[in-house]
Amino acid sequence: MIAFLGTGLMGAPMARRLSRAGFPVTVWNRDAAKATPLAADGAKIAASPADAVAGARVVFTMLTNGDAVSDVLFERGVADALPEGAVVVDCSSIAPPIAREHALKLAERGIRHLDAPVSGGVVGATAGTLAIMAGGDGAVVESLKDVFAALGRVTHVGPSGAGQICKLANQQIVAVTIGAVAEAMILVEAGGASRAAFRDAIRGGFAESRILELHGDRMVKRDFEPGGASSNQLKDLDAVMAMMEELSLDLPLTKQVRKEFAAFVESGGAGRDHSGLLLHLEKLNRRN
């Protein structure tokens, strides 16, 4: 049996994919209203995270941050309820040191752990095309290949914590590229060109990317309903900044885009899609 803890924007379609692939799935979410619809896909609804994992051999977590994962695993009884040999697959985006700490604490109980954050957004979660970056024991990753296949493409990227490092690097690229596409949109419109035509014109060239495809389209249509909230993008960039300091690095592009996301979130953009950074940059340019 698989337990899935956290059925928000990303967790719900992931749990649905697992259930539709034929795996018995039990789900739990802090807001039960976000878990209940999964019953239509065959999932069982649990009243608590400890209830959800009873009898589970694999537990997925997709929660807001490291504190939420720690709370569910160690304060709400999940670790105590799991049998020896079970696997916790944490798909949340959290700081690498916290992921390593969770792995050590679970190992003391005979429970295996993978930090396996994902990229691809709600679209990828729904379609089963997520990029999954797994840190931990490669043999454990291999043993779950059929489970991961229902969600997307998994790559073992290194030891415990490596999945989270790779996710942070992914989020760096996403954030900087969103900023670059947004600034280009502002430039071409100010110069008299059509944003939509510009995007179409450069598709397939060296500037092609999933960001240009999906978020460039959002910017043209001005559709900023959250697939990935700007508050979560900022959280990830803050984690990058922490690792930058820990590793004695200087990442000037990341520092600048983090500054702009922080200003956007502070001015009310927290719940907007991260492609909504365009709105912040447009506001800056109206002042000039």
Query: What pLDDT does 288 receive?
Result: 61
The domain covering 165-287 belongs, at the CATH homologous superfamily level, to: N-(1-d-carboxylethyl)-l-norvaline Dehydrogenase; domain 2 (1.10.1040.10)
Spatial separation of the C-alpha atoms in residues 16 and 27, rounded to whole Å: 10
Q: Where are the domains of the chain?
A: 2-158, 165-287
User: Each residue's pLDDT tens digit in the chain (288 positions)?
Assistant: 999 999 999 999 999 999 999 999 999 999 999 999 999 999 999 999 999 999 999 999 999 899 999 999 999 999 999 999 999 999 998 999 999 999 999 999 999 999 999 998 888 999 999 999 999 999 999 999 999 999 999 999 999 999 999 999 999 999 999 999 999 999 999 999 999 999 999 999 999 999 999 999 999 999 999 888 999 899 989 999 999 999 999 999 999 999 999 999 999 999 999 999 999 999 999 976
Q: Which residues contact 244 (CB under 8 A, 6 or more apart)?
A: 250, 251, 254, 255
- What is the rounded end-to-end Cα distance, in angstroms, of the chain? 58
Contact criterion met (CB below 8 Å) for 73 and 102: yes
Query: What pLDDT does 121 receive?
Result: 86
Reply yes or no on domain 2-158 having CATH 3.40.50.720.
yes
Q: Which residue has the tokens 């024991």?
A: 137
167 annotated active-site: yes
Q: Which residues contact 79 (CB under 8 A, 6 or more apart)?
A: 73, 105, 106, 109, 111
φ, ψ dihedrals at 123, nearest 5°: -60, -45
CA angle (149 as vertex; 143, 152 as ends), nearest 5? 125
**Equal CATH topology for 2-158 and 165-287:** no
- Name the residue type at position 42: G
Q: Look at strands 130-135 and 118-119 and give their pairing.
A: antiparallel
Query: What pLDDT does 228 receive?
Result: 86
Query: What pLDDT does 134 receive?
Result: 98
Query: What pLDDT does 162 receive?
Result: 97
**Which is catalytic among the residues 34, 105, 145, 167?**
167
Contact criterion met (CB below 8 Å) for 95 and 239: yes
